[in-house]
Amino acid sequence: MSAGANTYDVAVVGAGPAGLAAAAITAGADLTTLLLDENPTPGGQIYRAVTTTPLKEQSLLGEDYWAGAALVAETKASGAEIVQGATVWSLDATRELAASWAGTSRFIKVRRVILATGALERPFPIPGWTLPGVMTAGALQTLLKCSGLVPAGRLVLAGTGPLLWLLAAQLLRAGVRIVALLDTAPSANYLRALPHVPTFAVSRYLTKGVALRREVAQHVEVVRGVTRLRAEGQGALASIAFKAGPDERRLAADVLALHQGVVPNVNLAMAAGIAHRWHPVQLCWVPVLDAMGNSGIDGIAIAGDGAGIGGALAAEAQGRLAGLAAVAAVAPERLARLPDRQLLEQALARSMRGRAFLDQLFAPPRWSRLPEGDTIVCRCEEVTAAQLLEAVGMGAMGPNQAKAFLRCGMGPCQGRLCGLTVTELISNTRGVAPAEVGHFRLRPPVKPITLAELAAMAHTQRAVAAVVRE
Amino acid sequence: MFRRLLEDAGQRVRVTIDGRPATARAGDSVAAAMLACGLPYCRTTPLSGQKRAPYCMMGVCFECLVTIDGVDNRQGCLIEVSEGMRIDTQLGRRAVE
Residues paired with residue B51 on neighbouring β-strands, in sequence order: B44
Question: Residue A216 maps to which CATH number?
Answer: 3.50.50.60
| pLDDT over 80 at A3, yes or no | no
Give the closest residue to A20 by CA, choosing from A48, A43, A50, A53. Answer: A43
Q: Do A138 and A237 share a structural domain? A: yes
Whether A232 is covered by a domain: the verdict is yes
Chain B CA closest to residue A383:
B47
Question: Is it the case that residue A456 has pLDDT exceeding 70?
Answer: yes
- Work out the minimum CA distance from B25 to partner chain A, whole angstroms: 8
**B48–A413 C-beta distance less than 8 A:** no
**Which segments of chain B does DSSP mark as H helices, in order?**
30-36
Asked if residue B58 lies in contact with residue A138, where contact means CB atoms within 8 angstroms, the answer is: yes
Q: What's the whole-number average pLDDT of chain A?
A: 95
Q: Which residue of A has its CA nearest to B6?
A: A148
A281 and A252 in one domain?
no
Helix axes A312-330, A341-352, angle to 10 degrees: 160
Q: Is residue A26 part of a domain?
A: yes
The answer to whether residue A265 neighbours chain B at the CB level (below 8 Å) is: yes
Instruction: Chain A: give the shortest CA distance to residue B85, in Å.
Output: 16
Q: Are residues A207 and A276 in the same domain?
A: no
* Amino acid symbol at A188: A
Which residue out of B3, B4, B5 would a mutagenesis test of the A interface target, given it has the greatest number of A Cβ atoms within 10 Å? Answer: B5
What is the Cα–Cα distance from B30 to A433, expressed in whole angstroms? Answer: 41
Give, as one character, the DSSP assignment of residue B71: E
Q: Which structural domain range is residue A133 located in?
A: 123-260+357-361
Q: Are residues A301 and A400 in the same domain?
A: no
**A349/A78 Cα distance (integer angstroms):** 26
Regarding whether A13 and A95 lie in a shared domain, the answer is: yes
Check B28 against A147: CB less than 8 A apart. yes
- List residues of chain B with CB under 8 Å from any CB of chain A: 1-6, 9-10, 25, 27-29, 32, 35-36, 40-41, 45, 47-48, 50-63, 65, 71, 73, 77-80
Query: At A275, which amino acid appears?
Result: A
Is the domain of A243 the same as that of A215? yes
Reply yes or no on whether the pLDDT at A131 is more than 60. yes
A412: which chain B residues are within 8 Å (Cβ-Cβ)?
A: 62, 65, 73
Q: What is the pLDDT of residue A2?
A: 40
Instruction: Report how far residue A55's alpha carbon sits from residue A413's, in angstroms, rounded to the nearest whole number.
Output: 31
The length of chain A, given as a count of residues: 470
Written in H, E and C, the secondary structure of chain A is: CCCCCCEEEEEEECCCHHHHHHHHHHHHCCCCEEEECCCCCCCCCCCCCCCCCCCCCHHHHCHHHHHHHHHHHHHHHCCCEEECCCEEEEECCCCEEEEEECCEEEEEEEEEEEECCCEEECCCCCCCCCCCCEEEHHHHHHHHHHHCEEECCCEEEEEECHHHHHHHHHHHHCCCCCCEEEECCCCHHHHHHHHHHHHHHCCCHHHHHHHHHHHHHHHCEEECCEEEEEEECCCCCCEEEEEECCEEEEEECCEEEEEECEEECCHHHHHCCCCEEEECCCCEEEECCCCCCECCCCCEEECHHHHCCCCHHHHHHHHHHHHHHHHHHHCHHHHHHCCCHHHHHHHHHHHHCCHHHHHHHCCCCCCCCCCCCCCEEECCCCEEHHHHHHHHHCCCCCHHHHHHHHCCCCCCCCCCCCHHHHHHHHHHHHCCCHHHHCCCCCCCCCCCCCHHHHHCCCCCHHHHHHHCCC
Residue B30 DSSP SS3: helix
In this structure, are A144 and A269 located in the same domain? Answer: no
CA angle A42, A46, A51 (to 5 degrees): 40
Confidence tier at A1 by pLDDT (50, 70, 90): very low
Residue A137 reports pLDDT greater than 80? yes
Which chain A positions have a beta carbon within 8 Å of B52's beta carbon? 130, 132, 379
| Cβ–Cβ pairs < 8 A, chains A and B | 133
The nearest CA of chain B is from the CA of A381 a distance in Å of 7
* Residues contacting A136, CB < 8 A, separation 6+: A121, A124, A257, A258, A259, B55, B56, B57
Please answer whether residues B68 and B75 qualify as being in contact, where contact means their C-beta atoms are separated by less than 8 angstroms: no
Residue A402 lies in a domain: yes
If phi > 0 it is left, if psi is from -120 to 50 it is alpha, else beta; for residue A85 that is left
Instruction: Inspect the interface and report whether the beta carbons of A136 and B77 lie closer than 8 Å.
Output: no
For testing contact with chain B, the best of A147, A263, A305, A413 (most B CBs within 10 A): A147
d(CA B92, CA A93): 38
Residue A74 lies in a domain: yes
CB contact under 8 A, A55 and B27: no
Which residues partner with B66 through β-bridges? Answer: B74
Percentage of the residues of chain A whose pLDDT score is greater than 90: 91
Nearest to B25 among A147, A379, A413 (CB): A147
Chain A residues inside the 8 Å CB shell of B50: 130, 382
Looking up residue A404, the CATH number of its domain turns out to be: 1.10.10
Q: How confident is the model at residue A460 (pLDDT cuts 50, 70, 90)?
A: confident
Q: Where are the domains of chain B?
A: 12-91
Please tell me the distance from the alpha carbon of residue B21 to that of residue B86, in angstroms, as a whole number: 9
Q: How far apart are CA A107 and CA A88, in angstroms?
A: 10
pLDDT at A136 over 80: yes
pLDDT of residue A5: 61
Query: Cβ of A54 and B9 within 8 Å?
Result: yes
Number of structural domains found in chain A: 3
Give yes or no: residues A162 and A114 share one domain. Answer: no
Q: How far is A128 from chain B (nearest CA, A)?
A: 11
Domain boundary among A327, A361, A395: A361
Tell me which CATH code domain B12-91 carries.
3.10.20.440
**Percent of chain A whose predicted confidence (pLDDT) is above 70:** 99
Q: What angle do CA A340, A342, A345 make, to 5 degrees?
A: 115
A138 vs B2, B6, B58: nearest CB:
B58
Distance between CA A89 and CA B32 in Å, rounded? 25
- Per the CB < 8 A criterion, the answer to whether A411 and B60 are in contact is no
**Residue A323 · residue A22 · CB < 8 Å:** yes
What's the pLDDT tens digit per position in A380-433? 999 999 999 999 999 999 999 999 999 999 999 999 999 999 999 999 999 999
Phi, psi of A30 (to 5 degrees): 65, 25
Q: Do A148 and B5 touch (CB under 8 A)?
A: yes
pLDDT digits (tens, 9 = 90+) for A429-447: 999 999 999 999 999 999 9
Question: Considering only CB atoms, which chain A residues are within 8 Å of B51?
Answer: 131-132, 235-236
Does residue A444 form part of some domain?
A: no
Residues of A in contact with B59 (CB under 8 A): 38-39
A78-130 pLDDT, tens digit per residue, is: 999 999 999 999 999 999 999 999 999 999 999 999 999 999 999 999 999 99
Exposed/middle/buried for A331, CB within 10 Å: 0-12, 13-18, 19+? middle
> What's the pLDDT score for residue A206?
86
Q: Who contacts A290 (Cβ-Cβ below 8 Å, separation ≥6)?
A: none
Mapped onto helix, strand or coil, the DSSP state of residue B72 is: strand
Using CB atoms, which residue from B2, B48, B73 is nearest to A143? Answer: B2
Sign of CA dihedral A8, A302, A159, A423: positive
Would you say A68 and A42 are in contact if contact means Cβ atoms under 8 Å apart? no
Could you tell me if A327 and A406 lie in one domain? no
Judgement on whether residues A61 and A85 belong to the same structural domain of the protein? yes
* Dihedral angle sign, alpha carbons of residues A193, A186, A348, A274: positive
Contact residues, chain B, for A131 at CB < 8 Å: 51
Q: What residues in A contact B29, CB-CB < 8 Å?
A: 40, 146-147
Ranges under pLDDT 50 in chain B? none
Chain B interface, best mutation among A57, A87, A134, A149, by max B CB count within 10 A: A149
Same domain, A224 and A281: no
Enter the ipTM.
0.98
Residue A351 within a domain:
no
Task: Express each pLDDT in A40-85 by its tens digit.
Answer: 999 999 999 999 999 988 999 999 999 999 999 999 999 999 999 9
